[in-house]
Structure 1
Amino acid sequence: MSAPLPTAQQLEERALAYLQRRETPAWTEADQAELDAWIDASTAHRVTWLRMQQGWQRVDRLASLRSPQLRQPVRAAWRFGTRRQVALAASLCLAVLGGLLLVQQGIGPFDQRYRTDVGGHQTVPLKDGSRVELNTDTRLRAAVTEQAREVWLEQGEAYFDIAKDPHKPFIVHAGERRIVVLGTRFSVRRDGPRVEVAVAEGKVRVETPRAAKPIPPAIATGGDVVIAEAESVLVAAASPQRVDSELAWRHGLLVFDKVTLADAAREFNRYNRKQIVVVDTLAGDTRISGSFDAANVEAFSRLLERAYGLRIADHGERIAISN
């Protein structure tokens, strides 16, 4: 039986222990070789090291600018504390300094925020040459620097075309999930705790770093779809056609293959302020297939009336559909 994967906290404590030892005169070339080997052992190690190193550099820089006294308790824990104490001191100091940044600037110094309204669609370039397309009603924060490349999908759906950089993995945080890539094209959709990843090209790794029990990362390649919810992560070896359907929103389309009208209505409602209300279960269970203009809910309802004989009642802000 293989050993359990280390948790995110264990990785952070290990990185902080190396940072602590490196500050002392006893640090040797052998210690540096050990650190280099640990960093190269996995992408998770490299990402943790870059994040913690950047955090400590920011602590020093901001603390010296704002209050020299703020750095003293952190340095004391750095030199004399246990790993857990060091981690706690780092968390507290970063929280304090992070709060100062939020008050003064609204977001971190390297962060950029993007959002779309209901029915909106926006393509944004990132500093590393990557591109992100935001779907309807989406909020995303990006921090792309010389040290790391990370984005946080706070709500909605986005398509990523990632520039390759073997030294800096690109990380997408979506709820409890973390998607790690080097260079590829894929989409991430977040519906509360549910995360869906569709890979158009390349390879991605979907991790659950803060799960109550270790969950092995899911590896997906072009044509695969990953669905993650609660403690479950499913990798479906999908056809390129299914991924194309998943990404049809990039062209303003919704593509359905024998989905229920209830599910189709929920998809249309993501793109339109005029909402579809399915009145009864019999109508909701009707199976729908085809390609539809995501922004034209009236045309969709007329097709339902003609093809299935369903009753359509337009009430201005909503369309009621019944059998």
Structure 2
Amino acid sequence: MEEGPEAAQARASREASGWLILLQEEPDDPAVKRRFEDWLRASPANADAWMAMQHVADVASIMPAEFADRWQAEVARQRAADVQATRLSPVRPRWPRRRWAVGGAALALAACLAIVAAPVLMLRIESDYMTGTAEQQKLGLQDGSEVTLAAGSAIAVSYEAAERRIRLLQGEAFFDVAPDPKRPFRVIASNAEASVLGTSFGVRLGPQGVTVAVAEGIVQVGYPDRGSMMPQKLEAGQVARLSMDGQISRTTVPPQLVAAWRRGQLYLRDETMREAVDRLRRYYGGTIILADDALAERRVTGVYNLDDPEDALLGLVRAHGARMRRITPWLIVLSSS
């Protein structure tokens, strides 16, 4: 089967990170240089990937060591969240213990690119529908139900005689469900489940758990793998947060603000800065790094414009007297000072 352009790009990125490491290890080996030059000329994707890797080296040369460490930690955390969300087996990065000419920061960034590529490809294989950065998509299902996918989101659809089942693999979605008493409509996200007969509600899968918010009707939420826990019912304007460790907390929201991202708004109510940044990442065409844990755990409330994620980030940090630094046009670092 011929390799598609996205798969070719992902493969070239992984190979470019490998060449960066090898060229640092054997800088004077003529055989290595010849092989590298042959690879570079083999395809435009390889040349583009190598140019991107050179940008990585440029970033490393100006990035403070603590930011490079934070980048590595953030990628590892996001990778773990992807694994939890898609039930994939984790791949543990092996960080070389040598000192490279470009420096450990460049090597860490290169390895991060290779680590991130794998779950994206797996997600494309597993999902039926998927959106990219800052992309929103409205889908009609075979029973007349509608699903609106937020940016950076993915679902898998399975309709059977006894039930309608959607798996939220990443991001968030809003469901407008056509009534069918004989076939419940279930949304599975990680280890949590939302079940309805016909209603409108939103589901978000984040690194800390699943959030279900009801715009209209009644939704039942719970953990199907925890038989001892009774499901809970939510009505219009009610929100449930189901943590990965099996805890359910509840709050309320005006029904018209459920899934406000459909109208280009990010509505936050007593959420952590980490959660807010995770949601904004899906609308920003680069990388956002939270440089300290104290800032990540501060609470945020407000409405922000998703059409301008950089301005939204600036508003978030200003509210806490923090700082936003643009390291490159595609890299932003948030820190307390």
TM-score (norm 1): 0.56
Q: Give the structure 2 partner of residue 300 of structure 1.
A: 312
1:228 paired to 2:238: no
Q: Give the structure 1 partner of residue 148 of structure 2.
A: 133
Q: Give the structure 2 partner of residue 272 of structure 1.
A: 284
In the alignment, structure 2 segments of 5+ residues that lack a partner are 1-124
Q: Give the structure 1 partner of residue 187 of structure 2.
A: 172
Work out the CA distance in 1 between the residues paired with 2:133 and 2:181.
Answer: 36
The CA deviation at 1:235 is 4.8
The CA deviation at 1:292 is 1.9
Work out the CA distance in 1 between the residues paired with 2:173 and 2:277.
Answer: 21
- CA 1:306 to 1:115, structure 2 compared with 1: closer, same or farther past 3 Å? closer
Q: Give the structure 2 partner of residue 162 of structure 1.
A: 177
Identical-residue share of aligned pairs (%): 31
Aligned residues: 211
Instruction: Indicate the structure whose relative CO is greater, using CA pairs within 8 Å and at least 6 residues apart.
Output: 2
Work out the CA distance in 2 between the residues paired with 1:306 and 1:193.
Answer: 24
User: For each residue in 1:259-288, what CA deviation from the matched residue of structure 2 results, as whole angstroms up to 9, or x when unmatched?
Assistant: 554543333223223233343567657765
Work out the CA distance in 1 between the residues paired with 2:130 and 2:141.
Answer: 15
Instruction: For 1:208-287, list aligned pairs within 5 A.
Output: 208-211=223-226, 213-240=227-254, 243-257=255-269, 261-280=273-292
Q: Give the structure 2 partner of residue 198 of structure 1.
A: 213
What is the aligned-residue RMSD (CA, Å)? Answer: 3.0
Secondary structure, aligned partner of 2:239: strand
User: For each residue in 1:64-102, what CA deviation from the matched residue of structure 2 results, as whole angstroms up to 9, or x when unmatched?
Assistant: xxxxxxxxxxxxxxxxxxxxxxxxxxxxxxxxxxxxxxx
Please, which moves more after superposition, 281-290 or 125-134?
281-290
- CA 1:130 to 1:299, structure 2 compared with 1: closer, same or farther past 3 Å? same
Structure having the higher Rg: 1
The one-letter amino acid paired with 2:236 is: G
Work out the CA distance in 1 between the residues paired with 2:192 and 2:216.
Answer: 20
The one-letter amino acid paired with 2:165 is: E
Please, which moves more after superposition, 268-277 or 126-135?
268-277
Work out the CA distance in 2 between the residues paired with 1:173 and 1:229.
Answer: 14
Secondary structure, aligned partner of 1:136: coil
Work out the CA distance in 1 between the residues paired with 2:217 and 2:141.
Answer: 19
Q: Give the structure 1 partner of residue 159 of structure 2.
A: 144
Instruction: For 1:311-322, list aligned pairs within 5 A.
Output: 311-315=323-327, 316-322=329-335
The one-letter amino acid paired with 1:156 is: G
Work out the CA distance in 1 between the residues paired with 2:319 and 2:229.
Answer: 46
